[in-house]
Amino acid sequence: MIPMSENITIGFIGNPNCGKTTLFNAYTGANLKVANWPGVTVEKVEGAVKDHDLNIHLVDLPGTYSLTSYTMEEQVSRQFILSDDVDVIIDVADASALERNLYLTLQLLELGKPVVLALNMMDIVEKRGMEIDTHRLPEMLGIPVIPVSARKRTGLDVLLHVAAHHKDCTDTDCLIHHHTYKSKHKHDHHAEYAMVYSDAIEDKIDLIIGALKRKYPKLTNYRWYAIKLLEQDKEITERYPVNLPEVIDRNYESDIINEKYDFIQEVVREVLVNKDRQDALTEKADRALTHRFWGIPIFLGVMAVVFFLTFTIGDWLKGYFEWGIENVSVLLGNGLESAGVNEVVCSLLIDGIVAGVGGILTFLPNIFILFLALAFLEDSGYMARVAYIMEGIMSKLGLSGRAFIPMILGFGCTVPAIMASRTLENRHDRFKVMLITPFMSCSARLPIYILFAEMFFKERAMVVAYSMYMISLVVAILVAAVIHLIDRKKSENYLLIELPEYKVPSSRTMAIYVWEKIKDYLTKAGTTIFIASIAMWFILNFGLHGYTTEMSDSFGAVIGHYLVPFFEPIGLGFWQIAVALIAGVSAKEVVVSSCAVLFGVPNINSGAGMDTLVGILGNVGFGQLNAFCLMVFCLLYIPCAAALATIRKEAGSTRWMMLSALFQLVVAWGVTFIVYHVGLMV
């Protein structure tokens, strides 16, 4: 009996693409806590749920195919499982790919912690006419096996309940299973362990266990340590060495892996019926999407559709936001006036805060659609295909197709894109990708494109904005090519990526993902942009003689005028633009909110606001070409403060961060220069 209100910790582990995250989310909802494992850059996701009187703390471990010590993710997972911090492990397996998923299961069993196997995606198994003997499987593995479907939300309660109560099941009575034959081995381990190796290896294991028991009497689960020593696992060999050179005469890892797979084949043969019914839909879709010639054009087309949706649906929703902001400003204006509030403060509120923050909020719909589309592509399984499609080009640039995925993520936000470069093991490649990724046009720049494209290019606004994304790709590829030419070192990058079956993305997963992004956007608006707007208002309304309504007398104007010579040759020689661009280092959206404050346009994203702005800009000689140059410059110049901080953390050096910022500035200036002068000639 479990006493009232006890706490237990359950860890979730499984292969990538096995639906583990969907299952985890089904229990935790959006109440996730995302952090890092201390000291390493591996993500840790936690949540909590209750099962009757039991408080269950859930931890989602990184998706992995095995638990060796070759990558940080595996080490972290392994350490966590061995520690006292977790009571039970739920091993999530894709039931439609049982053969491969069971490898991790066997490794988990050897770790000695209570394990429950969750057979996920049972709905797919049924649909394909496959059958799994869910009575025989637990017998062969010696652990409870629960069929679930995270998408259809079946089996969830049973799984949680079994896992919670399995915690106390460490003695052999609940791990009984029956093999169909008796081993000739002198120690019949079949009653204790699911995975029994060949006699030769079992003998060695016994010898090593003997030595371990003598040398390290305080350990538990000697069998696992013995197996690891036979595999010459780096971490274990260093921490718990034994002196048995005749026993550990070579590395037995391959033998052990092979024997595990032999056992898995035996299990699958007995337990799985109709295993070859594959997903016809995925085959057909892949024939088109990963086509030799059409793969890339289709990809570009998909990206075009994404941006088309971002613009049209985004704009349609935006109408409501604009109406809202408009009303707020008018009401506020009237209210403040009748309350007799000081005129300076009024200006701060309306021309500063509402203009700045409000201006940014109106772009929320566009951002929302963009992230929704990216989530859809990722969850459906298409992103993995993109790595394959781009491998040809990427390898010519000295990178693996896998490196393209962080770059696509960069279309959303540079920060997670740079972090995603961790998946590349080669340090050299990681730095290359970190240098290139900021050139990918992040979502924060979208408001700039939308605003200026619609102002100066009217009907062709969408085409112009799409062209920014194309320029972004081209510049990134060119930079990569140049780096590759200069740095001819033979880079060893290995494209090795699983292509999961296509699936209709789970709306729940997408909703949680998109909500996180929206929360971030709103937080940014309420903090960084708020402060930047106030700061901007201050330097624009105060000059050497105090408060002034004549902006050209303000501090901002002074600063701006100093910078104009730098921007003149690239078509941006306007002090207001200079000030906006400097402010844009805090967050790219600030360029737009600054313009709202700089040019005194309250509802900048509305038809009227834009016309006003075009007029004002026209008066100082800022036209179509200048707008295009502005967009190009914003696309390429220094990334925002958050991205810079991320680069510094991931690269581990402030110097590298400065270098990359400087590099981007140079490239931005150079490209804009070319664009401007070519434009003048046309």
Partner 1 sequence: MIATGIIVIGIIVYAVWAAKKIHKKQKNGTCCGGGCSGCVDKKYCNR
Partner 2 sequence: MYLCDGRIGNAYQVVDIKLPVNIEKRLEALGMTRGTAVAILNSKSHGILIVKIRGTRFAFGCNITENVLVR
| 530 binding partner 1? (CB under 8 A) | yes
Distance CA(155)–CA(148), nearest Å, equals 5
Distance CA(602)–CA(73), nearest Å, equals 49
Residue 493 interaction partner, one of partner 2, partner 1, none, beta carbon < 5-8 Å per kind: partner 2
| 387 binding partner 2? (CB under 8 A) | yes
* Complex with partner 1: residue 43 or 326, whichever CB lies closer: 43
Among residues 56, 229, 377, 389, which is the contact residue for partner 2, using CB under 8 A?
Answer: 389
Cα Rg, the chain, nearest whole Å: 30
Distance CA(313)–CA(316), nearest Å, equals 5
Q: State the greatest distance between any 2 C-alpha atoms of the chain, in Å, as a whole number.
A: 98
Residue 21 interaction partner, one of partner 2, partner 1, none, beta carbon < 5-8 Å per kind: none
Stretch that binds partner 1, among 2-10, 137-145, 416-424, 577-585 (CB under 8 A): 416-424
Distance CA(410)–CA(437), nearest Å, equals 6
Stretch that binds partner 2, among 382-390, 465-473, 574-582, 631-639 (CB under 8 A): 382-390
**Which 41-70 residues touch partner 1, going by CB under 8 A?**
41, 43-44
Residue 275 interaction partner, one of partner 2, partner 1, none, beta carbon < 5-8 Å per kind: partner 2
Query: Comparing C-alpha atoms, which of 674, 644, 640, 565 is closest to residue 666?
Result: 674
Residue at 311: amino acid letter: F
CA-to-CA dists, residue 46 to 30, 74, 302, angstroms: 11, 18, 34
Backbone angles phi, psi at 22, to 5 degrees: -60, -40
Among residues 6, 235, 492, 550, which is the contact residue for partner 2, using CB under 8 A?
Answer: 492
Residue 528 interaction partner, one of partner 2, partner 1, none, beta carbon < 5-8 Å per kind: partner 1
* Complex with partner 1: residue 233 or 378, whichever CB lies closer: 378
Contacting residues for 135 by C-beta, under 8 A, at least 6 apart: none
Distance CA(531)–CA(538), nearest Å, equals 11
Query: Comparing C-alpha atoms, which of 211, 205, 198 is closest to residue 244?
Result: 211
| 552 binding partner 2? (CB under 8 A) | no
Give the total of residues touching partner 2 (CB under 8 A).
42
| 401 binding partner 2? (CB under 8 A) | yes
Residue 530 interaction partner, one of partner 1, partner 2, none, beta carbon < 5-8 Å per kind: partner 1
Stretch that binds partner 1, among 380-388, 464-472, 476-484, 640-648 (CB under 8 A): 640-648
Residue 428 buriedness (CB in 10 A; 0-12 / 13-18 / 19+): middle
* Complex with partner 1: residue 449 or 567, whichever CB lies closer: 449
Q: How far is the CB of 634 from partner 2 (least distance, A)?
A: 35
| 412 binding partner 1? (CB under 8 A) | yes
Q: How far is the CB of 497 from partner 1 (least distance, A)?
A: 20
Residue appearing with tokens 């707007």: 533
Distance CA(367)–CA(447), nearest Å, equals 9
Q: Where are the alpha helices (DSSP H) in 167-233?
A: 199-215, 222-230
**Which 598-617 residues touch partner 2, going by CB under 8 A?**
none
155: left (phi over 0), alpha (psi -120 to 50) or beta: left
* Complex with partner 2: residue 403 or 529, whichever CB lies closer: 403
Q: How far is the CB of 552 from partner 1 (least distance, A)?
A: 26
| 349 binding partner 1? (CB under 8 A) | yes
Query: Comparing C-alpha atoms, which of 163, 65, 59 is closest to residue 114?
Result: 163
Give the total of residues touching partner 1 (CB under 8 A).
44
* Complex with partner 2: residue 45 or 389, whichever CB lies closer: 389
| 290 binding partner 2? (CB under 8 A) | yes
Three-state SS at 677: helix
Stretch that binds partner 1, among 215-223, 341-349, 589-597, 606-614 (CB under 8 A): 341-349
Quote the tokens at residue 118.
């969750």
Length of the chain: 682
| 111 binding partner 2? (CB under 8 A) | no
Residues paired with 35 in a beta bridge: 44
- Cα of first residue to Cα of last residue in the chain, in angstroms, is 83
Contacting residues for 120 by C-beta, under 8 A, at least 6 apart: 14, 18, 19, 20, 23, 92, 93, 94, 95, 148, 149, 150
Stretch that binds partner 1, among 85-93, 289-297, 398-406, 529-537 (CB under 8 A): 529-537
| 487 binding partner 2? (CB under 8 A) | no
CA-to-CA dists, residue 615 to 180, 459, 573, 634, angstroms: 86, 18, 17, 22
Stretch that binds partner 1, among 84-92, 225-233, 525-533, 665-673 (CB under 8 A): 525-533
Distance CA(601)–CA(353), nearest Å, equals 12
| 496 binding partner 2? (CB under 8 A) | yes
Footprint of partner 1 (CB under 8 A): 33-36, 38, 41, 43-44, 336, 339-342, 345, 348-349, 353, 412-416, 418-419, 442-443, 513, 516-517, 520, 523-524, 526-528, 530-531, 534, 642-643, 645-646, 649-650
Footprint of partner 2 (CB under 8 A): 65-66, 68, 70, 97-100, 103, 253-254, 257-258, 261, 275, 278, 282, 286-287, 290, 292, 295, 384-385, 387-389, 391-392, 395, 400-401, 425, 492-500
